[in-house]
Amino acid sequence: MLAAMKRRPASFNEAPLPLFGEAAPAPVTGRPARNKLPSYLCDHRQRLRARFMEGGAPALPDYELLELVLFRALPRQDVKPLARRLIEQFGDFGRVISAPPARLHQVRGVGEAVVREFKIVEAAAHRLARSKVMERPVLSSWHALLDYCHTAMSHSETEQFRVLMLDRKNVLIADEEQARGTVDHVPVYPREVMKRALELNASALILVHNHPTHSFRSRRITLKHIETLENPSIFSIA
């Protein structure tokens, strides 16, 4: 009998197959799983998020705040080099977020996912700033109004002409971009401004205009626009 057991085929010594279709454990190869973020990058992201939650945006330089946004767009990639390239290209966090998609795509490493995340952040900032001033008295929320105009226009690469319309209680009832121009000029049509104000029964207007180039020529043109709008004869009906 002992001799028979010794002559048992080698197949009887193989490990039994798993019951009920259970998968066998994956072999340990010592290599990280494909598409899995390395541990040192995971630790970096956790530390960065913790610093943000403890100290807020002031605790982070612009490129690290940009990293937090890029984490969502590029979940399995080291985004610090891209964040630094973007800051070098555009100057600061605000200019990166508000940059036109065409210019963002010119930066190596920027794809549709990155542009989409930036535009979501930009839209959220505009909506938050707008919610603090709409349907509120301008005099009691003047600083919030200035912050809103700064958020909406300061990083634009082209000139804009906006009209803020108030009711008889100086409550902001509408904010409309009347025209968008070039880097140093924007057309203004006084008749269209007044036509829209009458449609909304506005009692007062605040005219807002930006200067991306900060040129003296643009400022002279702005003064000319103001003089034109102050002339009541332009609103006469022939």
Residue range 171-192, pLDDT digits in tens: 888 888 888 877 777 888 888 8
Q: What is the pLDDT of residues 120-168, one digit of tens each?
A: 999 999 888 888 777 777 766 778 888 888 887 877 778 888 888 888 8
Comparing 16 with 139, the larger pLDDT belongs to 139
**Which one has a higher pLDDT value, 216 or 191?**
191
Q: Quote the mean pLDDT of the chain.
A: 79
- Note the pLDDT of residue 62: 95
pLDDT for residue 56: 92
Which one is predicted more confidently, 213 or 32?
Answer: 213
Identify the pLDDT of residue 234.
47
Lowest mean pLDDT among 19-33, 69-83, 155-169: 19-33
Contact 96, 88 (CB under 8 A): no
31/52: higher pLDDT: 52
Domains, the chain, with CATH or none: 41-127 (no CATH), 135-231 (3.40.140.10)
Let me know if 196 is exposed, middle or buried by CB neighbors in 10 A (0-12, 13-18, 19+).
middle
The mean per-residue pLDDT over the stretch 227-234 comes to 56
The pLDDT, as a whole number, for residue 19 is 44
Give residue 154's pLDDT: 75
Q: SS3 for the chain, per residue? A: CHHHHHCCCHHHHCCCCCHHHCCCCCCCCCCCCCCCCCHHHHHHHHHHHHHHHHHCHHHCCHHHHHHHHHHHHCCCCCCHHHHHHHHHHHCCHHHHHHCCHHHHCCCCCCCHHHHHHHHHHHHHHHHHHHHCCCCCECHHHHHHHHHHHHHHHCCCCCCEEEEEEECCCCEEEEEEEEEECCCCCCCCCHHHHHHHHHHCCCCEEEEEECCCCCCHHHHHHHHHHHHHHCCHHHHCCC
28/82: higher pLDDT: 82
Q: Is the pLDDT of residue 17 over 60?
A: no
How far from chain centre, in Å, is Cα 110?
14
CA distance 222 to 161: 10
227 confidence band (pLDDT: 50, 70, 90)? low
pLDDT of residue 16: 53
Give the separation between CA 45 and CA 39, rounded to whole angstroms: 10
Distance CA(53)–CA(150), nearest Å, equals 26
Q: How confident is the model at residue 34 (pLDDT cuts 50, 70, 90)?
A: low
Q: What is the pLDDT of residue 216?
A: 46
